[in-house]
Amino acid sequence: MIGLIRSEIGVGESSRLAAAALDAAGVPFGMIDLPGISLSRSWDTTWLHKEMSAAPFPVNIFHLNADVMPMARSHFGSELFEDRYNIGYWHWELPIFPDEQLGGFAQLQEIWVPSQYVFESLLPKSPVCVVKIPHGISMPPPVDLPREYFGLPRSPFLFLSMYDSYSFQQRKNPKAAIEAYLRAFPEPKPDQVGLVIKINNAHEQDLEQVRAFTGGRPDCHIITPVLSRMQMNALLHSVQCFVSLHRSEGFGLGLAEAMYLGKPVIGTYWSGNTEFMNPANSCTVDFSLVHVGTDLGPYQAYQLWAEPNLDHAAYYMKRLLTDTVWRNTLADNGRQTIHTYFSAPLAGQRIRERLAQLGF
């Protein structure tokens, strides 16, 4: 498996989840890190014992998105690809896969994707077979760190929204989470309820915007220090609810991981997270589809993404605060969904079965 093995961003976590799935299924594997690509910190050494410098197996799985594949080919050379079955595990966040990234298919014989949403995006453009292999969520028991460790108040009900600036603030849409919270609780009651915004790799411009969105409210808390995976899990464990009013997701790892830990989640009910979210296990927020409007990195202006209904999200926030029975039911249902249908052993079984179909 080749990828950003140590990088503390979503595509790096994707590769580590795949490692846990392969390990659970008893599939022999090794890992090769692609250096110098990730702009984020690369300190996660969870699978250091599996890292190697060469590929001794007949199958390569590249946990690198389409736009990075040309860099991988340049770095490793054609020798890594020759006489092997090469699979790309890709995420893409919008309905139409861009022609500008078609070069990513070169030297690949198959593409795996984490959700039906990405499957339907890639299928019309892919010259090779596309197979859905959802992520298997695997997390160690969270360390019980006090809220004071993160600079958070001890007593109130806390909503958490988090994102990485390298994943584009406009897509992750923290403004929507903040605005929904302000609509739900127009008067600050910092001893009763609060909102936490965790920003990874915070750009100063993005940070200034988020501060402006909150209006300096004492019940809105912004966390910017880089946290380890252990610390991130502990932060998630310390709050009552996870919120993602995204405009689009290829899968939605943050939502799935929160559900794995038994946290109720509020999420825009569109794109990759519909793979595991439904009205019985989560707060599914209504939306309208709008054009991206202006070119933003790899996202073209003509494409569509979601504009979440903030009043609907605010309704969920108010109800979660007061309706304990409903909140616990949602949380239990969400946890059961992830542990039953999106576990590491099940993901590993799917991988093993697909490899067997291919003759490996």
Our CA angle for 28, 55, 24, nearest 5°, is 20
Give buried/exposed letters for 186-209 (b at 16+ CB in 10 A, else e). Answer: eeeeeeebbbbbbbbbbeeebbee
Say if residue 181 is exposed, middle or buried (CB neighbours under 10 Å; 0-12, 13-18, 19+).
buried
- Mean per-residue pLDDT for 334-346? 99
Distance, in Å, from the CA atom of 291 to the CA atom of 219, rounded to the nearest integer, reads: 33
Distance, in Å, from the CA atom of 185 to the CA atom of 233, rounded to the nearest integer, reads: 27
Domain chopping of the chain, boundaries: 2-138+343-358, 147-341
Query: With contact defined as beta carbons under 8 Å apart, do 40 and 161 qualify?
Result: no
Q: Is the pLDDT of residue 214 over 80?
A: yes
Q: How far is CA 254 from CA 222, 273, 276, 359, in A?
A: 17, 10, 12, 34
pLDDT-based confidence at residue 201 (cuts at 50, 70, 90): confident
Query: With contact defined as beta carbons under 8 Å apart, do 355 and 59 qualify?
Result: yes
Q: Say what the pLDDT of residue 203 is.
A: 85
Q: Say what the pLDDT of residue 316 is.
A: 99
CATH code reported for the domain at 147-341: 3.40.50.2000
- AA letter at 348: G
Between the two ends of the chain, the Cα-to-Cα distance in Å is 15
The runs of H, that is alpha helices, within the chain are: 10-25, 69-76, 116-122, 169-172, 174-184, 204-214, 229-238, 253-260, 310-322, 324-341, 344-357
Q: Which residue has the tokens 């569109």?
A: 270
- Mean per-residue pLDDT for 161-176? 95
Q: Is the pLDDT of residue 39 over 70?
A: no
Number of continuous H segments (helices) and E segments (strands) in the chain: 11, 14
Q: Do domains 2-138+343-358 and 147-341 have the same CATH topology?
A: yes
pTM: 0.97
Q: Which fold does the domain 2-138+343-358 belong to in CATH?
A: Rossmann fold (3.40.50)
- Mean per-residue pLDDT for 184-198? 98
pLDDT-based confidence at residue 271 (cuts at 50, 70, 90): very high
